[in-house]
Structure 1
Amino acid sequence: MSLDKRKKAFVALGRFLSQFTSQGIDKKEDIPFNDLFFEVFKTQINRAEEYNSWFTKDNVLFAFENWSFALSEDQISTWLQAYQLHDQNKKTIAVIMAGNIPLVGFHDFLCVAITGHHVLAKLSSNDKYFIPLIAKYLEHLEPCFKGSFTFTEEKLKDYDAVIATGSNNTARYFDYYFGKHPNIIRKNRNSIAVLSGQESHEQLEALAEDVFRYYGLGCRSVSKIFVPKNYDFDVLFKAVFKYRDIIKYTKYANNYDYNKAVYLMSLFDIKENGFLMLKEDQSYASPIASLFYEFYEDLETLKRKLAEESDHIQCITTELSIEDSIKFGQTQLPKLWNYADNIDTIKFLMSI
């Protein structure tokens, strides 16, 4: 199957996904195979929270909507123009997917499929329904995809390379089992924000989206902020107040209560507003309903620190001048070329 056919299939998939947005679900005309797939996807979206209580309808629709934007013809063309893709021997790529947020494994699926390789996917039990549905839709759009996607719960075998996403602990096992094959093995990373103290209310509201989207479970969720000495945290608390209803979600509230109890029993000094706790901590990974903070003396020293500790950081959001940073409110809206852990997946797949 030609690259052009694969691209057209994913563009058509983007159009199909555009029916499912944060504003609601709306069936459109002229969408291929809509009569066969629309209601199936709608039902699965409505039931997602039954299988994974973190997958609320709002968060699932947010993920679908942003993938529909990413799979536009312009975005895909811009992404792939950086490569000299050509027909090559079809290899089988084992993809071990995470399940912390909806469709988190789809980018790896896309990269393998768009380069013409066979996807051998081991899904997370937390997110095991959407990507197989998408694969079925792609097979209807482009029959040449049939036989290109395999989903298994068994031990992986007969593969040529591995892309595995997990925690620092699972990465050790991945390295042991898959180290003899070409591989990308991802570990824990977190995202951070750097504040100057001069941010507007609107900018901090945008930052709040980076903190609270997906309940902070994504590697692109901001889990820590760096602030100047004497920073006024009341300004931040006022800006995030619009997200106060998050505490009404039982699972989030349970985490808030548990982590607050742990902090108080440990005599940690925390700042809190009833739905978010701030704790001074040098770590990058904060628990749910918590946001770590660390003071910095000057920006240049902080930049050096972040460069030295880049292996812990997925992305940086700030309004300051920091290399490779993004604006507030953008961490959960990655482009196709914003690779996890800054490892170019397409280049890896072309090298096999």
Structure 2
Amino acid sequence: MLQNDKKRCFIELGKFLSQFSENETIKNPTVLHNDLFFEDFNDLIQLSQSHNGWYTPENVYFSIQSWATALTEENLEKWLSAYNLELNTPKNVGLILAGNIPLVGFHDFLSVLVSGNSLLIKTSSNDQHLLPFLAKYLIAVEPELSNKITFVEGKLENFDAVIATGSNNTARYFDYYFKDKPSIIRKNRNSIAVLNGKENKEQLIALGEDIFRYFGLGCRNVSKLFVPKGYSFNAFFEAIFEYQDIIHYEKYANNYDYNKAVFLMSNFKLLDNGFLTIKEDSSYASPISSVFYEFYENLEDLKIRLESESEQIQCIVSDNLTKNSIAFGETQRPNLWDYADNVDTISFLLTTK
């Protein structure tokens, strides 16, 4: 299967996904295999919340549109031009996927296939429908892919390398179980925002997107704020009031009530606006409906600390206050070349024999 054929498959998938939007879903007659897949995928989007209560149509549409935007010929060319894919030794790559947000494992899926390898996929129990559906669409576009994509229900076997995503606890199991195989093992990471008090209202509203998208369940969601000593949260609370409707979602509201009660019973000092609590805490991982914060006195000292603790951090959001920071509101819109944990998946696959 030629490299151009692989890219073409994903370009066609991008065109297919581009039809589905929260605001307007329109069937494009020029999209391949719409007669077979359009209605079924539209139904699957609406059913996703019944499969996983956190997968609201709004968030599933957001994920779909993010991938539709990424899977263009221009983006694929820009991404893959950095590699000599002819150097790849075809191999069977096992994927153990997370299910915290819709299609969270799609980048690994894409990377393995587009680099010329075969897939053995173990999906999360929380996300068993979206990726298999997209795999069926790709196989319809290019039937040769049917021999390269296998979904596994039981034990993962007969693989040459593995990419596994889980918690810090499951990562220890993965490290042991896959110790004799080339692997990428992903653990818990969190994203942070560094503020200096000069942010405008639009930036703080966009920060709310980084906090609340996917209910804060993704590793790219901001779970902690670093703010200068004496920082007032008034402007922050005023800006994020735009996201107040999130409290009307029952699962989120239950987490808000529970976590707030736990904090109050522990006599923690909280700031609260009725749908988000913020708490001073040195940890990076905050529970759903809560964001931690920490004061800093010197930005340069903070940069040194963040560099030393980089293995705990996925993204840093700021107005160019730190190296490689991401603009407000952009954490859940990564490019194809923005790798999880800063581990270049394509390079790993090309150098693994």
Distance 2:218 2:201 in 1: 24
| 8 Å contact from structure 1 (residues 189, 219) kept in 2 | yes
**Residue 87 of structure 1: how far off its partner (Å):** 6.0
Matched, 1:293 2:299: no
Q: CA deviation at 1:134?
A: 0.7
Counterpart in the other structure of 2:265? 265
Matched, 1:347 2:347: yes
Does residue 285 of structure 2 align to residue 316 of structure 1? no
Contact kept in structure 2, 1:191 and 1:223, CA below 8 Å: yes
Equivalence map 1:205-284=2 (5 Å)? 205-284=205-284
Matched, 1:325 2:331: no
* Alpha-carbon distance between aligned partners in 2 of 1:281 and 1:340, rounded to the nearest angstrom: 25
3-state SS of the aligned residue for 1:37?
A: helix
Are 2:85 and 1:85 aligned?
yes
Partners of 1:190 and 1:21 lie apart in 2 by 28
Q: Secondary structure at the match of 1:21?
A: coil
**Identity of aligned pairs, percent?**
57
Is 1:30 aligned to 2:30, yes or no?
yes
Relative to 1, partners in 2 of residues 1:267 and 1:231: Cα closer, same or farther, differing over 3 Å?
same
Contact 2:88–2:349 (CA under 8 A) maintained in structure 1 = no
TM-score where L is the length of structure 1:
0.99
Letter in 2 for 1:255: N
- Number of positions where the alignment pairs a residue of Structure 1 with one of Structure 2: 352
Which digits, 9 at most, give the CA deviation of each residue in 1:283-320, with x for residues without a partner? 00000000000000011000000000000000101003
Aligned to 1:146: 146
User: Secondary structure of 1:146's match?
Assistant: helix
Q: Name the SS for the 1:43 alignment partner.
A: helix
Q: Please state how far the C-alpha of 1:160 moved relative to its aligned partner.
A: 0.2
Whether the 8 Å contact between 2:27 and 2:38 is mirrored in structure 1 is yes
User: 1:87 touches 1:116 (CA, 8 Å); kept in 2?
Assistant: no
Residues 157-188 of structure 1, C-alpha deviations (whole Å, 9 max, x = no match): 10000000000000000011111100000000
CA deviations 1:126-156 (Å, max 9, x no partner) are: 0010111111111110122121100011001
CA contact (8 A) 1:190 1:285 kept: yes
**Which deviates further from its counterpart, 136-145 or 118-127?**
136-145
Matches within 5 A, 1:63-102: 63-86=63-86, 88-102=88-102
Residues of 1 paired with 2:103 and 2:23: CA distance?
Answer: 19
Alpha-carbon distance in structure 1 between the residues aligned to 2:282 and 2:261: 20
Answer yes or no: is the 8 Å Cα contact 1:96–1:165 preserved in 2.
Answer: yes
Q: For 1:12-51, list aligned pairs within 5 A.
A: 12-51=12-51
1:24-68 Cα distance to aligned partner (Å, 9 max, x none): 322112000000000111111000000100000000000000000
> Whole-Å Cα distance in 1 between the matches of residues 130 and 148 of structure 2?
17
SS at match of 2:227: strand
Using the size of structure 2 for normalisation, the TM-score is: 0.99
Q: Note the residue ranges of structure 1 that are not aligned, 5 or more in a row.
A: none
1:181 aligns with 2:181: yes
Shift, 1:248, TM fit: 0.2
Residue matched to 1:121? 121
CA contact (8 A) 1:192 1:315 kept: yes
CA distance in 1, matches of 2:88, 2:234: 57
Shift >3 Å, 4+ stretches:
none
Task: Indicate the SS of the match to 2:295.
Answer: strand
In structure 2, how many angstroms separate the alpha carbons of the residues matched to 1:113 and 1:166? Answer: 22
1:132 aligns with 2:132: yes
Task: Specify the alignment match of 2:171 in structure 1.
Answer: 171
Query: Does the CA-based 8 Å contact 1:2-1:87 persist in structure 2?
Result: no
Counterpart residue type for residue 199 of structure 1: E
Partner amino acid, structure 2, of 1:94: G
Q: How many Å apart are 1:321 and its aligned residue?
A: 2.9
Whole-angstrom distance in 2 between the partners of 1:195 and 1:228 = 7
Q: Secondary structure at the match of 1:163?
A: strand
TM-superposed CA distance for 1:344, in Å, is 0.2
Q: CA-to-partner distance for each residue in 1:73-130, whole Å, 9 max, x for gaps? A: 1111100111111164421000000000000010100000001101100000100101
